[in-house]
Amino acid sequence: MAQPLEGVNVLRNPYVNEGTAFSKEAREKLKLRGLLPPRILTIELQAKRFMERVRETDDNLVKYELLDSLRHRNRTLYFYVLINHIEELMPIVYTPTVGKACMDYDHIFRNTDGLYVSIEDKGQVAELVSNCPQENVDIIVVTDGERILGLGDLGTGGMGIPKGKLSLYTACAGIHPERSLPVCIDVGTNNPALLKDPLYLGLQHPRVDGDAYYELLEEFILAVRKRWPGVLIQFEDFANRHAFKLLEIWRDKVTCFNDDIQGTASVTVSGFMSATKAKGTKVSDEKILFLGAGEAALGCSNLLVQAMIAEGLTEQQARDRIFLFDSKGLVVSSRDNLSHDKALYAKDVEPCTTFLDAIETVKPTAIVGLAAQSGAFNAYVLGAMARLNERPIIFALSNPTSKAECTAREAYTYTEGRCLFACGSPFPPVELNGKTFVPRQGNNSYVFPGIGLGALYTKASLIPDGVFLAAARALTETVTDEDLANGSLFPSLTEVRSVSRHIAQRVAEYCLESGIAQIEKPADLTAALEDYMYKPKYLD
């Protein structure tokens, strides 16, 4: 029989530990007397003390480490602090600082949680899954570390991303932290620096690929679905060549989605819905040129086509409004060896090898950066967009900040304050000619927490594309006229829990109407979702 948790083991368990907030009665009952200083603090005071320490340093990586160590000590306080200071702390647990943490992962490593599944475990993955302490897991974010943000192959350092995404699931949408599991698949790394770093914690050999790779992924997915049958699996930061293939294999078999392809599409389509609302036009009026034709850009293109079809265009008319520019230049029909997905957007125009030439050829109304090419939206590019359009849409969505196509200040300055702007990583407000612009993040973090909440609440069996369009519309519904007047295409992060709940509601309605939900519709869906959401409160 399991021993009741008491004494120092209580303090070592982050899910029950309340530290200096344990009441007199709890200290007595849990045999904690003498193990804590005598004064009893409220959670508000504990949070105040923690934030004082966080604000003492300007080093964001140190802030990250402080938060990570709190997460390992006292998860209730961690989420209390994160929820109450989301605008200040999201850039630490998420982009851009999480990118630095992943790069330095082996050098700042202290504690572990989550699951590491390596190629050496092939044939025994179920045993590893059975070692996980959680009885119930509702949601998994899994990466293999090969395309971490725009930073490339960071091997097992990529574990920082599933941890960060799951922190946002809880903070933004109230997914219970004990029912989530970050997972890192380790098949080696092709990063030369990691291959020779004596502190690197993953397998120090080149990545294993081919059948062995897909067999390991299959074994992992079947093992977690066997132990936790309804678990939702979010694929995150896989390299392009695996991301599309894994989604194709699994999307009709298990509850899963790829955040970089589908979550990014949802937030970007929402950005277009909000921007065109500000202009008094429609998404289907836009002519959109993507810098990048990878996971994110193709995911966005495909969902934009669905959004334009919903506005009355045919599929071909919608595709005709979308242009792609990749590492080889503008995607044109005369190019050899175009993948099927890219070929759908190839145009019968002369090839262009510079982005500026592509702008002069295409004359887009909107440009979207998803190629991790820092500075690609330079003064010439932005100036051309300002010359061609009264209100150009400029989305610099690559992460982290060091990979952004332009800064918010550059976008507003070179378009004389006329652009409608969104960024992947945060930028502070920009003052220009007496007006303050408040740029907000076109980042999948606005949608995946609400999508997860809606899908989990309704026990959705699959996550079809309609979910991402429903989430895009829902997100735009939360943008106020005041937001738009300030240049914000997304709502304030201080509202993120009600925003996520609203997205979850629309997603849940979609799941219920389309027959993928496995529950009956509750009398009051909003109240039911609110009730379902975890709130960081001490038990006693």
Site residues (CB under 6 A) for ligand NAI?
A: 147, 149-150, 240, 260, 264, 267, 291-297, 325-327, 370-373, 397-399, 403, 424, 442-444
Query: Is 240 one of the annotated binding-site residues?
Result: no
Query: Site size for ligand PYR, by CB under 6 A?
Result: 7
Give the tokens for residue 29: 């009952």
Query: Site size for Mg ion, by CB under 5 A?
Result: 2
Active site residue 165: yes
Q: Does 237 bind Mg ion (CB under 5 A)?
A: yes
Q: Give the DSSP letter string of 11-55.
A: HT-TTT--GGG--HHHHHHTT-TTTS-SPPPPHHHHHHHHHHHHH
Task: Report in angstroms how near the CB of residue 103 gets to ligand NAI at its nearest.
Answer: 14
Task: Report in angstroms how near the CB of residue 493 gets to ligand PYR at its nearest.
Answer: 15
Which 244-263 positions form the footprint of Mg ion (CB under 5 A)?
260
Q: Does 146 bind ligand PYR (CB under 6 A)?
A: no
Q: Which of 490, 11, 98, 474 is nearest to 278 (CA)?
A: 490
Q: Which is nearer to ligand NAI, 78 or 355 (CB)?
A: 355
Q: Does 259 bind ligand PYR (CB under 6 A)?
A: yes
- Residue selected from 11, 93, 103, 149 as contacting ligand PYR according to rule CB under 6 A: 149
Task: Report in angstroms how near the CB of residue 326 gets to ligand NAI at its nearest.
Answer: 3
Active site residue 403: no
Q: Does 237 bind ligand PYR (CB under 6 A)?
A: yes
Among left, alpha and beta (phi > 0; psi -120 to 50; other), residue 238 is beta
Catalytic annotation, pick one of 64, 94, 200, 213: 94
Q: Which of 83, 16, 88 is nearest to 52 (CA)?
A: 88
Give the tokens for residue 185: 């698949």
Task: Report in angstroms how near the CB of residue 264 gets to ligand NAI at its nearest.
Answer: 4
Give the tokens for residue 180: 């989530």
Task: Report in angstroms how near the CB of residue 443 gets to ligand NAI at its nearest.
Answer: 4
Query: Is 399 one of the annotated binding-site residues?
Result: yes
Q: Which is nearer to ligand PYR, 95 or 413 (CB)?
A: 95
- Strand 232-235, strand 180-186: pairing: unpaired
- Residue selected from 443, 458, 478, 505 as contacting ligand PYR according to rule CB under 6 A: 443
Q: In this structure, which amino acid lies at residue 473?
A: R
d(CA 288, CA 286): 6
d(CA 330, CA 297): 13
Catalytic annotation, pick one of 63, 100, 165, 403: 165
Give the tokens for residue 20: 């200096």
In 55-188, DSSP assigns E strands to 115-118, 139-143, 180-186
SS3 state at 69: helix
Nearest-CB residue to ligand NAI? 294
Cβ-contact 171, 86 below 8 angstroms: yes
Query: Is 147 one of the annotated binding-site residues?
Result: yes
d(CA 206, CA 208): 6
Residues at the interface with Mg ion (CB under 5 A): 237, 260
Residues at the interface with ligand PYR (CB under 6 A): 149, 237, 259-260, 399, 443-444
Residues belonging to the active site:
94, 165
